[in-house]
Structure 1
Amino acid sequence: MSTEAMPVRAFEMQRHPGRVAEYRRRHDAIWPELVDALHAAGVLDYRIFVNERSHRLLAVMWLADGHTVDALPELPVMRRWWDAMADLMETRHDNAPVTEDLTPVFVMPAANAEEGGQ
């Protein structure tokens, strides 16, 4: 996947200690209608990484031009997912996960395919 000039968002969340297995289980069984909503909003690739020591989650989303991810919180399926995940992580009053946006400080240039990656 080429990410050159593709919008990307990265943010952190906080998982509760001792809940890693359940967090993984629920994401392994992510609802197809939620995946459809993410795709419809222009999410091309979405990855979540965990620091097992601190329980911090790092999420990275690659987005299509013209994406509508800012409207996702208005969708009932998104709110149901937040409700279903609220016991596993730090949340706000509406069960939305507490997120902290991350600012890029380094982006490695993509290899130039025309020059054989050099």
Structure 2
Amino acid sequence: MIRKAFVMTVHPDKHDEYEKRHNEIWPEMIDELQNHGTSNYSIFLDKETSKLFGYVEIDDEELWSKIALAEMNKKWWKFMEPLMETNPDKSPVTKNLRQVFHMD
């Protein structure tokens, strides 16, 4: 198992809608995530900065990277694009974080 952490940014006026859409995440998107080896996936919001902190556990880096090519994932990106900072392909602008400490 590989632990991944990253930050993204949601627009300040879209906090509630961002949370609503994740509370209603499509079952097909959950399946896609699981099919790409993800588990224990959480996203946290800092309302003061509009920063999102994501944490996910993955089985394999190569499998995880292939989710970007999945049509369901691209559909989700398009759905979420109006709410957050995105790249030209509608993927969220993401900054990966390096783990510096872990305790079980």
Q: What is the TM-score with the length of structure 2 in the denominator?
A: 0.95
Structure 2 counterpart of 1:56, from 51, 54, 60 = 51
Structure 2 counterpart of 1:16, from 11, 14, 36 = 11
Higher helix proportion:
2
User: Which structure is higher in RCO with an 8 Å CA cutoff and minimum separation 6?
Assistant: 2
Q: Distance in 1 between matches of 2:60 and 2:87?
A: 29
1:98 to 2:93 alignment: yes
Q: Measure how far apart 1:65 and its partner are.
A: 4.8
Equivalent pairs counted in the alignment come to: 104
Paired amino acid for 2:95 = E
Larger Rg: 1
Q: Measure how far apart 1:63 and its partner are.
A: 1.4
Closer, same or farther in 2 for the Cα pair 1:40/1:67, shift >3 Å? farther
Q: Measure how far apart 1:66 and its partner are.
A: 7.1
Could you list the runs of 4 or more consecutive aligned residues of structure 1 that deviate by over 4 angstroms after TM superposition?
Answer: none
**SS of aligned partner of 1:19:** helix
Structure 2 counterpart of 1:76, from 71, 79, 86 = 71
Q: Measure how far apart 1:45 and its partner are.
A: 1.3
Q: Distance in 1 between matches of 2:62 and 2:36?
A: 6
Higher strand proportion:
2
**SS of aligned partner of 1:47:** strand
In structure 2, list runs of 5 or more residues that go unmatched.
Answer: none
Larger displacement relative to structure 2 (97-106 or 57-66) = 57-66
Q: Distance in 2 between matches of 1:93 and 1:61?
A: 24
Q: Distance in 2 between matches of 1:66 and 1:59?
A: 16
Q: What is the TM-score with the length of structure 1 in the denominator?
A: 0.84
